[in-house]
Amino acid sequence: MPVSAIEFRDVSFSRPGRAQVLDHFNLSVEGGDVLALVGRSGSGKTTLLKLVNRLLLPDAGAIFVEGRDTREWEPIPLRRRTGYVLQDVGLFPHMSIADNVAVVPRLERWSQARTDERTRQLLELVGLPAQQFATRWPDELSGGQRQRVGVARALAVDPPVLLMDEPFGALDPMTRAELHAEFRRIQSRLRKTVIIVTHDMGEAFALGDRVGVLDAGRLVACDRPEEVAASAHPVVRQLLDALPSIPHVSRRT
């Protein structure tokens, strides 16, 4: 059996003074797959991502990235091999767009020429021509453009794993649909192992090769989208019923 790219084995995690976030949680993601995790606010989605790149360590159980326990990984190399797109984008406001994208290459001490070339490529990839955008500043961009920069920044050193935390949550429906299409186009070329978390079942169905449903620290379903759509589990049904008949701008969690 091939080693899963990311695997959660019997993971428990709690924050002091709060309810259990993850409770004997199991999950595996195959290389090149996109797993879309859906859950309500506070269901532990962000925690789950932070456990993968060792921003957090589990109370019990273990998380394996490329077959290696996160406790054994040095945190810095692990994080540089793991692209991370944050819920709030988190672009560095004091850096130009090009500098934002070039953060990790610079940390990795790439040559200036290689960094410039890579930055240009990435900006083209996410649909922001370098000529036009490289020297601009984050606060001059629209929300959708900033999200694209966030994706480009996460992909900068070509990490095998990409973690995305509600990446399109704050966007208007048109931009969202556009970015969903962009994401599928980019993913068809790059074949990254992706975990994307969202509170929107529609988005999960649009992006995931597989869809997982989180509830009270456990995975109540994890399967191909059509199987999940057919599930009779009450939590899954509830999330499915919440799907609007026409898309609308969801509120951020």
Partner 1 sequence: MRRLIEFWIAHRVELGALVGQHVLLVVASTLAAAAIGVPLGIFASRRPRLASPLMAAASVVQTVPSLAMFGFLLPVPLVGGVGARAALVVLILYAILPIVRTTVAGLRGIDPAVREAGVAMGMTPRELLRQVELPLALPAIAAGVRVAAVVGVGSATIAAAIGAGGLGEYIYRGLSMVDTTVILAGAIPAAALALLVDASLWWFERRLSARRRAGSRRIVTAAAITAAAAVLLSSGVAARRDRGAIVVGSKNFTEQLVLGELLAQTLERAGVPVDRRLNLGGTLICERALISGDIDVYVEYTGTALTAVFHQPVSNDSASVFDTVRTLYARTGRTLLPPLGFNNTFAILVRGADARALGLRTIDDAARESPRWRAGFGYEFVGRPDGYPGLARAYNLKFPQPPRVMDLTLTYRALAAGQVDLIAGDSTAGLIKGLDLVQLEDTRRYFPPYDAAAVARAEMLLRHPEVRAALESLSGRLTAEVMRSMNYAADVEHRDISAIVRDVLARPAPTIAGTLPSKPS
The residues binding partner 1 (CB under 8 A) are 53, 55, 75-80, 82, 84, 86-96, 99, 103-104, 107, 137, 153
Nearest of 147, 145, 144, 97 to residue 119 by alpha carbon: 97
Rounded to a whole number of angstroms, the minimum distance from the CB of residue 7 to partner 1 is 20
Backbone angles phi, psi at 85, to 5 degrees: -110, 115
Q: Do the strands 34-38 and 193-198 form a parallel or antiparallel pair, or are they unpaired?
A: parallel
Query: Is 213 in a helix, a strand, or coil?
Result: strand
Closest CB to partner 1 among residues 45, 79: 79
Rounded to a whole number of angstroms, the minimum distance from the CB of residue 159 to partner 1 is 10
Rounded to a whole number of angstroms, the minimum distance from the CB of residue 161 to partner 1 is 12
Closest CB to partner 1 among residues 29, 97: 97
Closest CB to partner 1 among residues 54, 210: 54
Closest CB to partner 1 among residues 43, 82: 82
Rounded to a whole number of angstroms, the minimum distance from the CB of residue 52 to partner 1 is 10
Order across the sheet with 60-65: list the strands.
Answer: 20-29, 6-14, 60-65, 68-69
Give the distance, in angstroms, between the CA of residue 251 and the centroid of all CA atoms in the same chain. 18
Closest CB to partner 1 among residues 107, 249: 107
The Cβ of residue 121 has, within 10 Å, a number of other Cβ atoms equal to 14
Rounded to a whole number of angstroms, the minimum distance from the CB of residue 95 to partner 1 is 6
